[in-house]
A and B are shown apart, each in its own frame.
Chain A
Amino acid sequence: MRLTPLTVFASLYLLVLYAPIVLLPLFAFNDGTVIAFPLQGFTTQWFAALLDTPALHQATLNSLVIAVSTSVFATILGLFAARAATRYSFPAKAGVVGFIMLPLVLPEVIVAISLLIVLMQLGLDSGTWSIIAGHTLICTPFAIAILQGSFSNMDRSLEEAAVDLGETPWSTFRLITLPLVTPGIIASLLICFTISLDEFIIAFFLSGNEPTLPVYLWGQLRFPARLPVVMALGTILVILSVLLLVLAETFRRRGLKRAGLKDTGGFL
């Protein structure tokens, strides 16, 4: 590769983008409580420390419960919305779909504050279920975007052909629609899971005394001695997120291949 101004720019760009993330595993394995160079030596004690922190385990469990519930709810809602948007025409369709997609660009702080106010007005306790609701709100647009792709790639006459050949609407859904949309459903589940797992603002506003993993992490930053442990946890989260996104993209591409379609630029 020749060294042109553009390649220099591109390299710098990638460096600025990813160098901080590379620091995470670097200090996670560093044998020293101070986050500074030079490195002190190799250790896995910070990862070991993760294992005997019960508060962390509770936070992880909260996060997993929230992320799994969110991905299931958001994907189910997305499935209905995407099918309706691609198969039927109804009055004010563009407006309705637009409003559903709006949380995609709405500042999360606003969503979080609004939810908190509503909860307080209703006199309800915030907690895990309210975070699930908030996360479902912000994840559903992603689910719709992914599933809409799956549905619009699917020729409508495929379903008609199955009915024409003797199948009922339900068995048609099971034999034709579901297999062709499944890769999209899996991609949607994985991406919603990742978004929910990483989400901080809504979780912070609504978590009360049941912190999620990101909220717990943020709390630990006040104790300098705990910083390497946070680094270790961050490392695990980064690897997990990347793995999930790669998995989601793999399923999306497999779906395209199965339907015999050309890849027209993915969601990622």
Chain B
Amino acid sequence: MSHSQTATQGKTQPIITLEGVQKYYGEYHALRGISAEIRQGEFFSLLGPSGCGKTTLLRAIAGFEDISGGVIRLDGRDMEGVPPNKRPTNMVFQSYAIFPHMSVAENVGFGLRRSSMSAEEKRRAVGEALEMVGLGKFGARAAHALSGGQRQRVALARALILKPKVLLLDEPLSALDKKMREVMQVELIKLQREVGITFILVTHDQEEALVMSDRIAVMFEGEIAQLDDPETLYRRPRSRRVAEFIGMMNFLPARVLPTGPGGGRIALEVAGLGPAELETAQCPNGAAVGEAEIGVRPESLTVLYEGQSAEGGREAEGTVREVVYYGDMTYYDILLDGAPAPVRVSMRNMPGRRVLDYGARTRLAWDPRSMMLFS
């Protein structure tokens, strides 16, 4: 195997190339032409609601599903007809799939059964793999006597012991409670950096994807809606649907005005906020004159307290309709004058900063640079 050789080829080298991948289940079109390149050594996420095809795509890469069309290339090799046991991928299953009739060490060493290593080398490899996931002393334990988090680690060690070119993770954290999930998120990132193996994560949890990934492919109905790094995905969602799915976004009706000659900027009239000018990069669906919508994140709207004023005079007024206090943050739903529905505003709570009361009148500052226009 040439693991070490491929590892030195750098991050930009695609380890997986998907070209127009199609999958039908009878009449049902589960994957509608997926094309993407997954780079060597990156942490890549497939994010989408249930039924969007993300798990099907992952299983197709692993070899558990035959594809109906297109090409999956792994390290330059067409995977057509290659069974899962002959692919340089390993998988962490959603249920972890720990073999219940084996000890922890037997589980972790299962993949080495067919290797030419000596018994001593195998034992050492198992020990190292267990050490890597922080289960150094658990080798002799019966597999069914483990907690959820420990099972997760055993599944990771078992999949990584073969040093696969790509590690596939199918919703690996969904069975854990919130605290444990946050711990494992950080551990997975660390682990991935340590081993330098390409990770492909399937998740429906946008926060998880944002926290862990180098790049994310957002999928809806068997198609990739957007493939970008987390920040671009959050700041510059290319469709209303992606914007809604990633984080919280406020939508306000807007009217696109005819631009003067030589403009490059798009002039709008936004309900509740007033006139605004956007760059074309902020208008992924174009900016045809007429009715449209703008999207703005809660943290891009700022409550103005007495004596404060907004830069450039971009202020709006409204009434507090809901106050949700989180300790470090407060979320307000504020109905702006002239807007059809309230917008959500998040404010960091700081010493000396008063939490607004329900029904209070307040002013908001806003910044057109943080807006997106959707038509």
Q: Which residues of A contact B (CB under 8 A)?
A: 155, 157-158, 160-168, 176, 179-180, 258-260
With A157-B97, A158-B99, A179-B101 in contact, is A164–B62 under 8 Å at CB? yes
Residues of A within 8 A of B85 (CB): 163-168
**Which 9 pairs, one residue from A and one from B, show the smallest C-beta to C-beta distance?**
A260-B144, A161-B97, A165-B111, A157-B97, A157-B93, A259-B100, A260-B100, A166-B85, A163-B84
- A164-B64, A164-B84, A164-B89 are known; give 5 further A-B pairs, CB within 8 A: A155-B95, A160-B64, A160-B84, A164-B91, A259-B101
- CB contacts (< 8 Å) of B162 on chain A: these are 165-166
Q: How far is the CA of A157 from the CA of B99 in the complex (A)?
A: 10
Complex: A163 Cα to B59 Cα, angstroms: 13
- Residues from chain A with a CB closer than 8 A to the CB of B99 are 158, 161-162, 176
Q: Name, among A157, A160, A165, A166, the residue most crowded by chain B CB atoms within 10 Å (CB to CB).
A: A165
In Å, the complex CA distance between A163 and B114 comes to 12
Across the interface, do B101 and A160 meet the contact criterion of CB distance under 8 Å? no
Question: How many of chain B's residues touch chain A, expressed as a range?
Answer: 20 to 34
Within 8 A of A (CB), among B71-125: 83-85, 89-91, 93-95, 97, 99-101, 110-111, 113-114
Is the Cβ of B100 less than 8 Å from the Cβ of A166?
no
How far apart are the CA atoms of A161 and B110 in the complex, in Å?
10
> If the complex has contacts A258-B100, A260-B100, are A161 and B144 also in contact, measured as CB distance less than 8 A?
no
A161→B90 CA distance, assembly (Å): 9
**Residue on A with the closest CB to B89?**
A164
Known: A165-B158, A168-B85. A157 touches B95 (CB 8 A): yes
Please name all residues of chain A whose beta carbon is closer than 8 Å to the beta carbon of B114 when the two chains form the complex.
166-167
Chain A hits for B91, CB < 8 A:
160-161, 164
Check: B336 CB closer than 8 A to any chain A CB.
Answer: no
Contact B101 A161 (CB under 8 A): no
A-B contact pairs, 20 of them (CB 8 A): A155-B97, A157-B93, A157-B94, A157-B97, A160-B84, A160-B97, A161-B158, A162-B110, A163-B84, A165-B85, A165-B90, A165-B159, A166-B111, A166-B114, A166-B162, A176-B99, A180-B100, A258-B101, A259-B100, A260-B145
> What residues on A are CB-neighbors of B145 within 8 Å?
260
The chain A residue sitting closest to B170, CB to CB, is A157
Q: How far is the CB of A93 from chain B (nearest CB, A)?
A: 16
Residues of B within 8 A of A260 (CB): 100, 142-145
Q: Determine the chain B residues whose CB is within 8 A of the CB of A160 once the complex forms.
A: 64, 84, 91, 93, 97
A177 to chain B minimum Cβ distance, whole angstroms, is 11
CA separation between A60 and B114, bound complex, in Å?
49
Bound-complex Cα distance A163 to B64 (A) = 9
B64 to A, closest residue via Cβ: A160
CB proximity of A168 to chain B, nearest CB, Å: 6
In the complex, the answer to whether B101 meets A180 with C-beta atoms within 8 Å is: yes
Q: CA–CA, A163 to B85, complex, Å?
A: 5
Closest CB in chain B relative to A186 CB, distance in Å = 15
Q: For residues 145 through 201 of chain B, which have their beta carbon under 8 Å from a beta carbon of chain A?
A: 145, 158-159, 162
* Whole-angstrom CA separation of A176 from B107 in the bound complex: 11
CA distance A59 to B110 in the complex (A): 50
Query: Cα distance A168–B85 when bound, in Å?
Result: 7
Cβ-defined contact, B97 with A158, below 8 A: yes
* CB-defined contacts of B89 to chain A, threshold 8 Å: 164
